[in-house]
Each structure stands twice: as structure tokens, then as C-alpha cells.
Structure 1
Amino acid sequence: MDQSRDISSAQIKAARALLGLSQDDLASEAGIARKTLYEMENGSVVRVSNLSAVRGVLEARGLLFVVHEGRAGVLGPRGNLRT
């Protein structure tokens, strides 16, 4: 299964908040348009390759995407959890 499909729009927003990144910053690092990231964060259907690029950037910065007690969240580099 392609794990990039397991990341939700809420997790992307939470991940950006944990890292203090703007949409422009994350989109630039992932090599995608800011509009594409905006669409991801608002639940639009996007290319798996773009979602994988965003996930790759966030994981490279030490984030872990988790599901705990049925709720999707993001575990930060210092153990902070956002849901």
C-alpha cells in the first residue's frame, strides 16, 4: 500500500504548525505549487506524487504520521503530538 495515501489534510496542516512552516515554505521545499498544497490541505484530490513529495519533506524534518485510538495525528521531533 502506498503510505502517501494515509496522510490527511488535517495531518498536513498540523505538521506545518509543528514546524512553523508557511504554505509557501512547504510547497517550495516539496517542489510543488502553493495552490497544490492549499488544495491538499482543503481535501481536494491531488496527485499521489505531490502528496508523496510533501510527506517526504515533513518526514525528513523528523515528523511521524500516526493513528492513535482511531485518530490521525502527527508526532513531532520532540515527541509533541498534534491531532
Structure 2
Amino acid sequence: MLSLRAVAICSNFAFISYGLAAGLYPVLILHIVLLPLNVVFLVRMTILLRKAKLAAATDLSPLWMQPELAPVVWTAPRWI
């Protein structure tokens, strides 16, 4: 996904230059709007990937959750 987003950013630059050279303002405006969106999504994906790698490198033991897993006894409400 990161490489696809990088290709999208490169294509945004290519279409911006094409829109400027040919005077195609709808194409120019579209890719000027899409460029920051693609950059933001690329940065967010990179951050998420770093967090996922960090989480995979840590201890995956569920023992820290054991105190929270005490059995819950359900009682019927008084009106039943």
C-alpha cells in the first residue's frame, strides 16, 4: 500500500504539470486537491506500520489482562 500511495503522489505531480502545460484546469484542480490527501494518507500509513511493527516486537502474552477476566455472576432483576 505504501508503494501504491507513493505512485499516486508521483502521478499527482505528473497530472499537475500536465494540467498546467495543457491549460486543463479541472485536471489541475483535481490533482492539486488530491496531492495533500495522498501525502496525509501516506504519513498515516507509515505511522500505523511503525506502530504495528512495535506491537509485534513486544510481548504478546495476555497475562496482563487476567485480573480483568474475573467471572461475572448475573442476577435477575427484581421485577422478573
TM beyond 0.5? no
Give the shorter-chain TM-score range. Answer: under 0.3
More strand by share: 1
Normalised to the residue count of structure 1, the TM-score between the two structures is 0.26
Normalised to the residue count of structure 2, the TM-score between the two structures is 0.27
